[in-house]
A = this chain, B = another copy of it.
Amino acid sequence: MLLSAEDLPVGNEIDCGSYEVTDGDARDFAAQWDPQYFHVDPERAGDSEFGGLIASGLHTMSIYQRLVVTAVYQRYDVIAGRAFRHVKFLRPVRAGDVLHCSATVRSVTPDGPGRCAVVVDGRLRNQHGKPVLELELDCLVRSRHRTPAH
């Protein structure tokens, strides 16, 4: 049974599990979607401010999404996402890092017939407990109060 918008646990921080970033995964993702030198070229990255390869921000966001979808959104009666706001890449992510995900439903607001706008704060921390990603998602979730079909 999927949770309707009115039943979401507003204000509770939800543990969404963790994910280990591997060198292969990080390079494969970046080679396909974000081929900047600091994601794909170890030699040039070694000479940069970061002293080595860092994971693509899109890869980091995708890891967050996989964890939050599996732990949270698959239990909610989600219609779709509308926007990310304030997506902050706070620290470099590197191969070998273990990223821990949590999410908090911040608000649920009626938004048209049968649906609510839901704002979710999400974050990833690394194995040292330091935040590496913070974001807000604005999505639509079905309401318990549906409009009649006929």
List A residues at the B interface (Cβ < 8 Å). 32-36, 38, 48-50, 54, 56-58, 61-63, 65-66, 69-70, 73-74, 78-89, 92
Contacts and interface: CB of A to CB of B under 8 A. Distances in A.
A43 B66 CA distance: 21
- Chain A interface SS verdict (over half): mixed
Nearest to A85: B86
Contact of A89 (B32, B36, B65, B83): B83
- Give the oligomeric copy count: 2
Nearest to A29: B62
A32 B38 CA distance: 24
Nearest to A134: B83
Contacts of A63: 33
